Structure 1
Amino acid sequence: MSISSPAATVPARHIVEEAARWLVKLHEGAMSDQDRQALQDWRAQNSEHERVWQAADALAHAMGSIPPELGIKVLESARRRQRRVMIKTVALLLATAPAGWLVWRHGGADWVASQRADYRTGTGQTRAIVLDDGSRVVLNTNTALDVDYTAGQRRLVLREGEIMVHTGKDAARRDFVVQTRHGAIRALGTRFLVRREAGSQYSAVAVLEHAVEVRPLLAAPDAPATRIEAGRQLRFTVDGTTAQEAVPRGADAWVDGMLVADNMRLDDFLAELARYRSGVIHCLPEVAALRVSGVFRTDDTGQALATLQETLPITVRLRTRYWVTVMPAA
């Protein structure tokens, strides 16, 4: 089966720009009581204003909030220029990036749940936890995870992000299940990766040892689960799975703070690198198909970008720390 994201309804440009101005002003810390009331009045004017504001606010959280240097008192002319750049950046993201609208249209409840999750990591962070049965779970960047152990089952709920699970031996022989909004993964004494990006219409599982069984959320009760053996991976939606593929080399390298590229397309590599960096990395189509191979540190995305610029015919342009464009070399 093929997997695609539903089309998102993009609002009027002037509403997007107004929301961007309010958002930047709010995160500058320059809001007076009158400004806050004016923002509330603007949101209450009609449902479209509120919809856009919710999407803008969710996008700001996904980006790690608005850059803090906007609140620093610098020369007024420079500050105005920087503010205009950020307003344009936020407006562009809201107007063109479907992720922001998918967060609002399809993932609002998930976003709230992720903020209240038992375990969370921020952008660029990882975290290892050991559960009561000795199972070890490592959370990748921007991950939210709930743990629900009962007398009959060991259950993890991945709200967003990515985890590596190494199951422990349970004296009571309870099933070990990882649940996402798209279905359930039952471990068969194993080590595996599960990934579910915020707003995505699928989840992914990669098996590193032994095997797992995957059951989509809307699968018929009598339908057999899909078994995945070590070295294989697939994606699944609420009603089906893709064909199984080989797990790429270094799929779990992030556990050790590394990102491995093996003849990877540049745009795909930059999408992975962007997970560990606040803001946006935009790759122009002219260089998207260039190939990348190497090992890069996830805690130094700036060095990774510099290395790419040294080894590929590209230019990496930083408009701000939070907006990077990768384009052909001059």
Structure 2
Amino acid sequence: MHRLDALNPTRPRGDDPVVLQAADWLVKLHAGEMDEAGHRALHAWRAQAPEHERAWQAADELARTFGRVPTGLGVPTLESARRLRRRVLLRSTVLLATGAPAAWLAWRTWGVELAAEYRTAVGERRGFVLADGTRLLLDTGSAADVVFDERERLVLLRAGRILVETGHAAGLPERPFFVQTAQGRVRALGTRFTVRGGDERTRVAVLEHAVEIAPRATDATRVVVRAGQEVDFTRDAAGAPRAIAAGADAWSQGALVADRQRLEDFLAELSRYRPGVLHCAPEVANLRISGVFQVADTDQVLATLAQTLPVQVRTRTRYWVTVGARAPE
């Protein structure tokens, strides 16, 4: 097997023995169980094979990521984070509350995302050009692996959202191009499109040409989606194609487009571009917002909301912000 862009042919999975070994080393290190002999043993293990070193680097990044979460958030953040589906904060606060064993559980659960060859942090967008000329743009908090063999070109979307512009470099054999998520596969039919993965469903928006969607279930009907259309699909079935929502690819230019969007929904999307919790109070959830907003400065976006809507932005910390009703004057 070959990899695009000289990628490693073996990508650790959550149940891969190398991943589990890296998790064990992580727990020992953070539990203070590593004496001088232990550190030598860890060094030797890392030097045994390239995949050991890659797994350890991902584990180390996991620990450093958790270390950047403010400890003052504590366990009370957990329920709000779950309600807002903020996975990174949720897992971070669990770690802070329960210590090193949770690091092992978190690493087994989602270390694959941090181990992905291509990934972005919260608020970051990055573009890559693959060996076949395909262009990938990763949205905030996204992770993907790319696998290339004699039969197909495959992007494994681990988390978040990507924009794909397929290419065909001279000298390389023709092979079908797929994006795979937990819910199934998207086959490019010479095209430009976006894919957003989720726990329950995947959303595909086609900007040029067409794609074919194949849900994971073996008896599911395949659906062709054409330019100007988008579709949500689960493991069992794809929905009916519909017109692309306004600004479907605006994120690729660092913007969010709202067209009479519910404030709660807008803030849920904005929250993907900033660390911590961004909460919308129920009394203002159904206010409508329209406009184009630059996500590079989410604080400025919040300030704009306070100027244009009857809301007040209450900041407990940089990582805990609530948008609620403006107090009577």
TM score, norm. by length of structure 2: 0.70
Q: In structure 2, how many angstroms separate the alpha carbons of the residues matched to 1:317 and 1:161?
A: 28
Aligned in 2, Cα 1:100/1:118: closer, same or farther, shift over 3 Å? closer
Amino acid at match of 2:295: T
Q: In structure 2, how many angstroms separate the alpha carbons of the residues matched to 1:306 and 1:66?
A: 29
Q: Counterparts of 1:140-219 in structure 2 under 5 Å? A: 140-169=139-168, 172-197=173-198, 200-219=199-218
**RMSD value, Cα:** 2.9
- The offset of 1:320, in angstroms, is 0.7
Q: In structure 2, how many angstroms separate the alpha carbons of the residues matched to 1:236 and 1:95?
A: 23
Q: In structure 2, how many angstroms separate the alpha carbons of the residues matched to 1:132 and 1:100?
A: 32
Partner of 1:328: 325
Partner of 2:135: 136
Q: Counterparts of 1:52-91 in structure 2 under 5 Å? A: 65=66, 83=72, 86-87=73-74, 89-91=76-78
In structure 2, the residue corresponding to 1:307 is in which secondary structure?
A: helix
Partner of 1:125: 124
- Structure 1 residue runs of 5 or longer lacking an equivalent are 1-30, 35-60, 71-82
Partner of 2:11: none
- The offset of 1:254, in angstroms, is 1.4
Q: Counterparts of 1:1-330 in structure 2 under 5 Å? A: 65=66, 83=72, 86-87=73-74, 89-93=76-80, 111-169=110-168, 172-197=173-198, 200-220=199-219, 224-330=221-327
Q: Which runs of 4+ in 1 moved over 6 A?
A: 101-104
- Structure 2 residue runs of 5 or longer lacking an equivalent are 1-29, 34-61, 95-105
Amino acid at match of 2:321: V
Q: In structure 2, how many angstroms separate the alpha carbons of the residues matched to 1:69 and 1:155?
A: 37
The answer (yes or no) to whether the contact 2:268–2:278 under 8 Å persists in 1 is yes
In structure 2, the residue corresponding to 1:134 is in which secondary structure?
A: coil
Q: In structure 2, how many angstroms separate the alpha carbons of the residues matched to 1:295 and 1:326?
A: 19
Q: Deviations over 1:286-320 (max 9, x none)?
A: 11111111111111000000000000010110111
Q: In structure 1, how many angstroms separate the alpha carbons of the residues matched to 2:82 and 2:249?
A: 34
The answer (yes or no) to whether the contact 1:93–1:100 under 8 Å persists in 2 is no
Amino acid at match of 1:182: Q
In structure 2, the residue corresponding to 1:275 is in which secondary structure?
A: helix
Partner of 2:36: none
| Aligned-pair identity (%) | 46
Aligned in 2, Cα 1:248/1:96: closer, same or farther, shift over 3 Å? closer
In the alignment of these two chains, the number of paired residues is 255
Q: In structure 2, how many angstroms separate the alpha carbons of the residues matched to 1:293 and 1:98?
A: 24
